[in-house]
Structure 1
């Protein structure tokens, strides 16, 4: 395989998704998967009130955006996401980067870079 493929997972606040999606589109990201997830890190959740009774909500709503790139530079994706998502407060999220060995488009059988187009 000549071209390196990389998966980038971005986990962040739900209210930042549309802005992130637009910024990634501007740098040439054509496809992504978004999942609504629950999680916590440093935040450890928040105390909510239901009918006047406090309860601890340990997992907070987040979005997970998954992208596989081969032509768009990984560092450009990371820099773009950081620029959009950084508020300077706890809960901005995390970015994970993984090597991808194979991609297969099920409909056509295309593999790797061809499957990403």
Structure 2
């Protein structure tokens, strides 16, 4: 597998951890004191960073710009967040999520299109 493919695998994993760090306390520590929720989030965020940092370094080594990395990260966030929201929090799917995803794909197009300009 190429280094870029590994970077995207790591981005997906890091987004799983970050989504859990940001929102998991609402499901698993709903009645816990805020300090416990913060510690829960920080502990999981450490795992997220352990995957995000190598992924961004690998993409940087491949010549990706910061804009390209950030937009790709946002796409990964949506790809991970929607199933997380539907399956873990039992939220209904809305077509607006699809439209938001298409808008992000337009962002990807414009960021990568200007790569050689």
TM-score (norm 1): 0.29
Structure ranking higher in helix proportion = 2
> What TM-score, normalized by structure 2, do the two folds share?
0.29
